[in-house]
Chain A
Amino acid sequence: MSEKIKRYLGEEVKAEEIKEGKIPIEKFKPKAKYAWSAGIAISKFLEELKKGRIIASTCNKCGRIMVPPRIYCELCFKPTDGWTYVKDTGTINTFSASYLAADATRLKEPIIVAIIDLDGASEGMGIIHKIGEVEDWKQLKIGMKVEAVWKPPEEREGAITDIKYFKPVKEAATL
């Protein structure tokens, strides 16, 4: 604020004033629902997840193997050239242990999430997923090898959650 300005506008309202009905409030809850098409590339990705495989798309111009796959390379701005499977193992690029749920309510047990750079994809091509079978998240390290834990085939529905989570691979877990 400029020292030339002597008065600042804004009337603060305390949470209690709303709770106690001291100021007029009008409430509304939207009821809109959505059903998204997964698109051309991601539909294929999801169908492959249902079969227990992770598919990537490739660009012959820049040489990238891309996960999640796309039908166009955003760098070369041309159609991608093909499809290839990558492994369901990878490396932790970065991770977090969250004590916050999606609506910012607090959790007793943290959700562990990580960006996992998948083996067989171009360097740094990570996906976001959960990490499981870890007793204490403080044991996790960037660079740790992890592997996908899949839902049993009959429970898969063609969704990113067909992979339940990634878990540290044995050798790394005992380090």
Chain B
Amino acid sequence: MYGKKRVAIVGAGLTLFRRRLKETGKELAYEAAKMALDAAGLELRDIQSVVMGTAPDAFDGVHMKGEYLADGAGAYHKPYTRVFVGGGTGVFTPLAGWWHIASGQFDTCLVVCEEKMSSCYPHPQYAFTTIFDPILERPIGMNLIWIFALEMQRYMHKHNIKKEHIALVSVKNKGNALDHPCAQLAARITVDDVLNSEIMAWPVQRLDVSPTSDGGAALVLVSEDVAKEITDNPVWIDGVGWCIDSTHWTNRDLYYPDYVEYAARMAYKMAGIKNPPKEIDVAEPYDPFDYKELHHMEGLLLCKKGEAPKLTAEGVTQRDGDLPINPSGGLLGVGNPIAAAGLMKVCEIFWQLRGEAGKRQIPGDPRTGIAQAWGDLMQYGSVIVLRR
């Protein structure tokens, strides 16, 4: 066994994802955290530690954001940590929660993610410009969408992938989101809608991209002893992995995220997974752009390099396919309040494995699922393996 204690998820909570919510970040954190506690049948006094995940302070314009959000996350007078690894935060936060319990230090940990991007105006995109190297990159006038466009173009070039095949991901995920009660951009669209949408930074078009959002998500983690007392259907965290590359992003071949592969291998080794496509029943890879779902399926070793578009075209990744990918609707459909969006994916796997996903439930009694997030300057991967 890895760590001193096995760790279970026993409750999850989620708010609506919207372009603008009236709630403050604290209020969103509270709403998600309270919902997760209620779902677990626990109260705040049962919680021994709290981990908060939230992305750049620049969105909120509130420095010390972790401290600001603490009481909303239920951390009053408790051991508390805020973690931040860019877009990878939402899946990294439960990993940090895992080691709180696996270390033997705590039996319970409340994991909360919140993002409020709407405070930054006219568009939160501008806050992203401060992630670039101040000397060599910002004078060029960098825009975050560019770097994804550069990566997408390289991926398409390397495997000779057509935009039509990538667009299928957006069609699938926005369609899946129609069954998600919290979704911001659920829609029935066609490949032509994607291909005819506004060009943002070629090859990225409007409908290739997830929106900016406000939202919150939370999980309750407990040790095996506590799990046995309070629930008949815990979902176990059986694998954790994370890995970072450097910010020298122009010095690596962007066609393949090998740092995601290293994170996945770490998590699979811990979970004893030797043949990922065979042993994983459902996956929620990070999909802020449609090509990223494909890129990450490959990095997660769910298929060979360059093979993800083919599997998508064959319907393998649909909810009723052999390997359902992003049954929630993903960031493209449900929305992208960064840290909360990553944790939403872990919530989805939790509900799928418990058979509680309602209209989104995949068939076949899934037992093993993974979620993954990605971020920073195209350099970070976080992976979690859940089992029933």
Contacts and interface: CB of A to CB of B under 8 A. Distances in A.
A28 B80 CA distance: 29
Contacts of A15: 19-20
B332 to A, nearest CB: 17
Nearest to A94: B154
Interface stretch (A1-9, A80-88, A146-154, A167-175): A1-9
A134 interface: no
Contacts of A100: 125, 143, 145-146, 200-201
Interface in B289-309: none
A93 B182 contact: no
A127 B251 CA distance: 7
A94 B142 contact: no
A102 B142 contact: yes
A30 interface: yes
A43 to B, nearest CB: 9
A40 to B, nearest CB: 12
Most chain A beta-carbon contacts within 10 A, residue among B142, B145, B150:
B150
Interface string B134-163: 111101111101100111011001000000
B18 A68 contact: no
B22 A11 contact: yes
A1 B182 contact: yes
A106 to B, nearest CB: 8
A113 B151 CA distance: 12
A160 B139 contact: yes
Contacts, number: 173
A71 interface: no
B35 interface: yes
Contacts of B204: 96
A24 B253 CA distance: 48
Contacts of B182: 1, 8, 10
Contacts of A68: 136, 248
Given A38-B135, A98-B146, A103 B125 contact: yes
Interface in A36-80: 36, 38-39, 42, 46, 66-68, 74
A93 B143 contact: no
Nearest to B58: A30
Contacts of B200: 98-100
Contacts of B23: 9-11
Contacts of A39: 135
Contacts of A3: 356-358
Interface of A: 1-5, 8-15, 18, 23, 28, 30, 34, 36, 38-39, 42, 46, 66-68, 74, 93-105, 110-111, 113-115, 124-130, 137, 142, 159-161
19 contacts: A1-B14, A1-B180, A2-B354, A8-B16, A10-B182, A12-B21, A12-B22, A30-B61, A34-B134, A74-B246, A96-B149, A96-B150, A98-B146, A102-B129, A111-B141, A113-B150, A114-B150, A128-B136, A160-B137
Closest 8 CB pairs of A and B: A10-B16, A3-B358, A96-B149, A104-B125, A98-B201, A94-B154, A11-B22, A104-B123
Given A101-B143, A104-B122, A124-B253, 13 more contacts: A1-B351, A10-B28, A11-B22, A11-B23, A12-B19, A13-B18, A67-B251, A94-B153, A95-B153, A96-B201, A99-B198, A137-B202, A161-B140
